[in-house]
Structure 1
Amino acid sequence: MRGIEGKVVVLGSRGVGKTHLVTKYIKNTLHKDIGPTIAASFFTCKVLLDDVKIKLQIWDTAGQERFKAVAPMYYRNANAAILVFDLTQHKTFVDIKSWIQELHRHVQEPMILTLVGNKLDLLAQRTVTHDEAYLFASSIGATYFEASAETDQGLEQVFLSTALGLVRLADEGKSHSLRQFNSCDSISAYTNNNTALSHTYAALSAKNDNAAFRLPYVHVGIPVDGDDERKVTGVGRLETPSWSIGHIAFGEEESSSCCW
């Protein structure tokens, strides 16, 4: 079985719900008393997409201005970025532009971009329209989803889309930092295999009735509406991953029971 390991950074202003989105997806729990992230927290999540295993190394970065000076160390060698804003706070949407500029300054290789409008459960209070966010996502080459850590709406699509994007990035062979391997073997040279991509494409396409749905392309993203919540056979998290909510900078990761 083919395997891919990619680094994902989660960016956005303070209070938009970055940590809530990540922990709710990974652990299926919502801790409302979590304080602001200090510098960064580190998580791992293993996703199985048909016959492809993807290990996501997720760096949940702090949104406070005082930590921006150290943020570039977390962008280094990132393969994907999840950019989060609060649907009820328009300024957090405007702030996404500065995060994009940061990525352009510090990331040299192509990467997958996903824009997420969080707090969809507060729909009556929204200040950012779907069309406004959709058009902006198109302009920066990102896919777009609206999500809620409170209700789980859109969460699965955000991370599956990111994982699928990493598969496409691997197949295009444009990223030297994206690690690839076979089953339980050590990280090794990658042998091109388009069969796995076609399987994963079919899996997520079946999840969305929109005929315009496509896999996210590197730098040429096509926004996807994340309203369809149907489950798909062969797509999902491989296991409950190890994680550390208090992990700061480059601390040690808890060992995983999975062979890879």
Structure 2
Amino acid sequence: MEEKKFTVVVIGERYSGKSTFIYRVIQKVFDAERQESIATSVINYERLYHDVNYKIQFWDTPGTMNSLNYTKSTFKSAFIVLVFFDPSPLEEHSAPTIEHLPDWVKLAKESVDNIYIVASFSDLWEKDNPPYDKRSYEKKYKGIPMFEISSKTGDGIELLLDSICYLYEQKGQNADRGVKLTEKKKDGSCCK
């Protein structure tokens, strides 16, 4: 059986559901007591998709803006970055994650070509009625696919994982690195 390997870096604010999502993917259960990440963790996962065994490394990153420089170094081997946020109204939790979403998306866009935005905790709102204006977010982040998931119920997770594998399948050999390389301009001061 054919095997493919790639890295998925998961970023976002503290309490946005990153670690709980990865735990749900790996263990197939919800853990309400899951602790937040204080350092980047690498978790291996295998998924069969279209007769290909995908060996996926999830990089679970700490979710503080102070860790941004540290987080940037994790993008080197990333095929895709998942930017997590909790769209719940700010009064429902002590750590607003939606207000820093633009910063995390900007960081991802500067580093890789493949980005998905993931709204977590979909079990906390009525179906088809998320607590954020989905259309305005889709317009603001045009071209970046958005997913809604619940690590508690598992809703949306299989679709997200299949979409990642499909994207890798479509990118072919060019998918091995998602890092953007920019040409450094010569300033003309040396070595003509």
TM-score, length-normalised on structure 2?
0.79
Question: 1:129 — aligned with what?
Answer: 133
Pair 1:104-2:109 in alignment: yes
Question: 2:34 — aligned with what?
Answer: 34
Pair 1:160-2:162 in alignment: yes
Could you tell me how far apart the structure 2 residues matched to 1:114 and 1:142 are? 6
Could you tell me whether the CA contact under 8 Å between 1:119 and 1:148 is conserved in 2? yes
Could you tell me whether the CA contact under 8 Å between 2:108 and 2:115 is conserved in 1? no
- After TM superposition, list the pairs within 5 Å mapping 1:1-260 onto structure 2: 1-89=1-89, 92-107=97-112, 110=113, 112-123=114-125, 126-137=130-141, 139=142, 141-170=143-172, 173-177=173-177
- What's the offset of the Cα at 1:36? 1.8
- For residues 176 and 152 of structure 1, do their structure 2 counterparts lie closer, same or farther at Cα, with a shift above 3 Å needed? closer
Give a deviation string over 1:170-223, Cα, whole Å, max 9, x none: 2xx434537xxxxxxxxxxxxxxxxxxxxxxxxxxxxxxxxxxxxxxxxxxxxx
Other structure's SS at 2:123 match: helix
Could you tell me how far apart the structure 2 residues matched to 1:106 and 1:115 are? 15
Once the two structures are aligned, what percentage of the paired residues are identical?
A: 22
Could you tell me how far apart the structure 2 residues matched to 1:53 and 1:135 are? 35
The Cα RMSD (Å) is: 2.2
Could you tell me whether the CA contact under 8 Å between 1:39 and 1:70 is conserved in 2? no
Give a deviation string over 1:51-103, Cα, whole Å, max 9, x none: 22211111011112232221112111210111111020465234222122222
Could you tell me how far apart the structure 1 residues matched to 2:89 and 2:66 are? 20
Equivalent AA in structure 2 for residue 75 of structure 1: F
Equivalent AA in structure 2 for residue 74 of structure 1: T
Could you tell me how far apart the structure 2 residues matched to 1:135 and 1:168 are? 24
- What's the offset of the Cα at 1:29? 2.0
Equivalent AA in structure 2 for residue 133 of structure 1: Y
Equivalent AA in structure 1 for residue 103 of structure 2: S
Could you tell me how far apart the structure 2 residues matched to 1:52 and 1:64 are? 35
Could you tell me whether the CA contact under 8 Å between 2:15 and 2:97 is conserved in 1? no
TM-score, length-normalised on structure 1?
0.60
Unaligned runs of 5+ in 2: 91-95, 179-192
- For residues 38 and 127 of structure 1, do their structure 2 counterparts lie closer, same or farther at Cα, with a shift above 3 Å needed? same
Could you tell me whether the CA contact under 8 Å between 1:116 and 1:145 is conserved in 2? yes
Other structure's SS at 1:69 match: helix
Give a deviation string over 1:98-118, Cα, whole Å, max 9, x none: 1222223344xx3x2211111
- What's the offset of the Cα at 1:164? 1.1
Could you tell me how far apart the structure 2 residues matched to 1:46 and 1:105 are? 28
